[in-house]
A and B are shown apart, each in its own frame.
Chain A
Amino acid sequence: MTELSLRLAVSLAQIAAVMGIVMLTVMILTLAERKVLGWMQDRMGPMEVGPYGILQPIADGLKLFFKEDIVPAGANKAMFTLAPLLAMVPAMIGFAVIPFGPSVTLDAFGITIKPFVISDINIGILYILAFASIGAYGIILGGWSSNSKYSLLGGLRSAAQVISYELNVGLAIVGVLLLAGSLSLVTITEAQAGGFWHWFIWGARPDGFFPIHTQIFAFVVFVISAVAETNRVPFDLPEAESELVAGFFTEYSGMRFAFFFIAEYANMVLVSCVAASLFLGGWNAPYPGTILGYVGLERLAWVENVAWFTFKVYLFLFLFFWLRATLPRLRYDQLMRFGWKVMLPIALANIVVTAITAYFFPRG
């Protein structure tokens, strides 16, 4: 009984810490996106709240918190309330299986704790994909229950888009799963240890340098599909400002709107974490081992690993902003053709090639 309650307390503490970090990242992202977009367009971005506008996320949060909560006439109230939760919870829940740092274990109070992953379940990546699909229900329900034509169109677009591109995400990671021989993100990350040539984007075997199992095509497919899945520019058809006002959350205001907003950014962080873990070696440094480990500070090596993970995740997040500053929105038929006739064949061909090379040149 005491052990069970102790485990529960540790898990809750880990969940609180991860949630806090994710929400903090979302706050940073809302500001960073506006700043980076501004700089890329020769503007300054927000400058009013605090020095150089760094307190803008707090002001935005307070504003959304105190805004009137409007439910449109004719809306299905239950669904209207449920939709933001359905969008936000799956975006948050995926972080449970992300390894943020090395898989060291800690023995404290008589139980074994893994400090850098909440739950190392053996179907990790499948679990993330499953919950990401539930997130699409939030968007579709939000669009349908608003009783507005713009919302409905945004929701419908989102449904078609998420189905098309989730398939590509699923197929793009199959190569990585073949090579790592596991669905657990912890195992996949550990399989990429020992220098950047062992990362799955490069794909050298554990004893060599030659990129025999390179997953670079899968990586490109994954990143593009991830952008599409998170409804970001240039695949932001569900919320297309210039066509659909704001798409599926046209009728939302106040905290419900904030939930959709947080869900979008949390999804960005989640797919960045997954991309970093699957293709860029997760918390592994691009050189074998860690510098802190070499200079005799093995106990602090996790700091370096966590820093590398954070760096990779923020690199992806910067890519999201960069794409948004550069690319115009795709047309609907272009989106569908690109998904089904370009991305899908590449992903399938990658599976075949990876399977053949992994059979003839097995990894150890």
Chain B
Amino acid sequence: MNLKTWIKTITFYELLAGMKATMSHLLHYRPITLQYPHEKRTLPDNYRGMLALLRYDDGTEKCVGCDLCEAACPSRVIRVVSAEVPGEPTKRYSKEYYMDMTRCLFCGMCVDACPVDALGMTREFEWAVYDKRQLHLNKQQLLAIGDRSFPVREEQLEFQHPNVAFFNVAFKHLPQKPS
């Protein structure tokens, strides 16, 4: 041990350097924390929050019951019961749609998988509940989340022609494709 190290040891040099660091933080006090329930942080644009089912501007559901989201989900959150639209044998929709949000890891794969953009990720994150059964959401609840989070709805596009079976349910109320 040379002299310099020895002097550093007996004067507690390292400890004093550490204490200087904490003291400088005390003197230049700028908290980086937020008082959460009172002030909330700005969420990033691509924030992936609560999942929701979406509607078109005329209020019809986008979902065509194709089950791709169920297949894409890594955590088996989603369960879709697909059915024919009553009276429209070529059209399908999701008769029942369940999400078990206790298992969801918010990866967004279901949203990517959806061919009709019927799923969306909202910016809601305060979903703490006392009973975890409340996180087992059905179709009505998911649609309600979508309604309150995406008030501006997408128009039904022109190419959603009634003759194209894959796209959707509520073709009856659509204006006909201009020829």
Task: List residues of chain A with CB under 8 Å of any chain B CB.
Answer: 36, 38-44, 47, 322-323, 325-327
Contacts and interface: CB of A to CB of B under 8 A. Distances in A.
Contacts of A42: 25, 29-33
Contacts of B32: 42-43
Contact of A39 (B15, B18, B21, B26): B26
Interface residues of B, number: 14
Nearest to B12: A220
Which applies to chain B's interface (DSSP): helix, strand, loop or mixed? Answer: helix
A41 B23 contact: no
A326 B25 contact: no
Nearest to A47: B35
Given A42-B32, A43-B31, A327 B26 contact: no
Contacts of A322: 19, 22-23
A326 B33 contact: no
B15 to A, nearest CB: 7
Nearest to A224: B12
A250 to B, nearest CB: 29
B13 to A, nearest CB: 14
Interface in B68-97: none
B18 A36 contact: no
A327 B35 contact: no
Nearest to A43: B33
B29 A326 contact: no
Contacts of A41: 25
A44 B33 contact: yes
A120 to B, nearest CB: 36
B25 A40 contact: yes
Contacts of B19: 322-323, 326
Interface in B30-87: 30-33, 35
A53 to B, nearest CB: 10
Contacts of A44: 31, 33, 35
A42 B29 CA distance: 6
Nearest to A325: B22
